[in-house]
A and B are shown apart, each in its own frame.
Chain A
């Protein structure tokens, strides 16, 4: 009758001496290895995230509150079909001027002002409001 007792530790008689297989210990090693792999792959993913430009997407949820987000503005899309007449071009210029004025309104958006020395080298007593700088 064959010995089917699974509770008995397996034996490796190849080398001539019996070798016990410790299942509990192997399970712990497997668990630790899985945790190490998970941490390292997560770390690597975050590293890639930081290296790329995606984290600079300040419009992502959470960076700018909904109230502060750009209101959806759109203009009538100029059709690529149809004839070209003076009135068609007048309408085109109207749309162009509308957007152009919006852009002109932001002409100082990236001026050097907010990063001037006067905004960084000030006495604490000056009570500069940080909002003023932006």
Chain B
């Protein structure tokens, strides 16, 4: 009975904290050797990835901002003034804005994990490095999923505008 309660409490805590566990496999001796030997190349590679990511983040961030502020928001305001407002377009704008915030936060969390990964001495601690690499992958996946959701929302918004156009 106590075990069940403990399990339930743990499940609730994990759900509330949004804990993100990633399980890294244990490396074999050959893999540990490879990481240790190529540590400097790996770190250079990670720094390049970090810079490329920063450029992508800046570009995507500005595009999302354009769509949200310059287009979606103003279209909805104009529709309201013309008594043509639709719940679908308003909700899409809110969802898009929320998802954009999620993207920003997911990217920040990903960059923090990537910073931690770069800080690990892979020559001395290859297994720790690999464990952290798994955590970074998991965070990156969340950023990627968010970009997919944002693209889907733009497509849905476009279809809703075309549908509105057809009704005019």
CB atoms of A119 and B45 under 8 A apart: yes
CB atoms of A84 and B84 under 8 A apart: yes
Interface residues of B in 104-156 (CB under 8 A from A): 108, 111-112, 115, 130, 133, 136-137, 140-141, 143-144, 147-148, 150-151, 154-155
B24 CB to closest chain A CB (Å) equals 11
Flag whether B42 is at the interface (Cβ < 8 A).
yes
Most B CB within 10 A of own CB, among A79, A97, A114: A114
B113 CB to closest chain A CB (Å) equals 11
CB atoms of B48 and A133 under 8 A apart: yes
A90 CB to closest chain B CB (Å) equals 7
Residues in A with CB closer than 8 Å to B56 are 106, 109-110
Known: A58-B51, A112-B140. 8 other contacts (CB 8 A): A56-B111, A75-B70, A78-B70, A96-B67, A103-B64, A106-B147, A114-B52, A134-B48
CB atoms of B49 and A96 under 8 A apart: no
CA of A97 to CA of B162, assembled, Å: 12
CA of A90 to CA of B161, assembled, Å: 9
Interface residues of B in 34-79 (CB under 8 A from A): 34-35, 37-38, 41-42, 44-45, 48-60, 62-64, 66-67, 70-71, 73-75, 77-79
B67 CB to closest chain A CB (Å) equals 6
CB-CB contacts of A90-134 with B at 8 A, as 1s and 0s?
Answer: 101101110110111011011110110001111110001011011
With both beta carbons as reference points, the residue of chain B lying nearest to A111 in the complex is identified as B144
Given A85-B168, A112-B144, A121-B31, does the pair A70, B51 have CB atoms closer than 8 Å? no
Residues in B with CB closer than 8 Å to A92 are 71, 75, 161
CB atoms of A93 and B168 under 8 A apart: no
B135 CB to closest chain A CB (Å) equals 11
Give A contacts to B, CB under 8 Å. Answer: 53, 56, 58-59, 63-64, 68-70, 73-86, 89-90, 92-93, 95-97, 99-100, 102-104, 106-107, 109-112, 114-115, 119-124, 128, 130-131, 133-134
A91 CB to closest chain B CB (Å) equals 11
For this complex, 29 residue pairs linking A to B, each with C-beta atoms less than 8 Å apart, are A53-B108, A56-B108, A64-B58, A70-B55, A75-B70, A78-B70, A78-B74, A78-B78, A80-B78, A84-B78, A84-B84, A89-B165, A95-B70, A96-B154, A96-B161, A99-B66, A102-B59, A103-B63, A103-B151, A114-B52, A120-B38, A121-B35, A122-B34, A122-B38, A123-B34, A124-B38, A124-B41, A128-B41, A130-B44
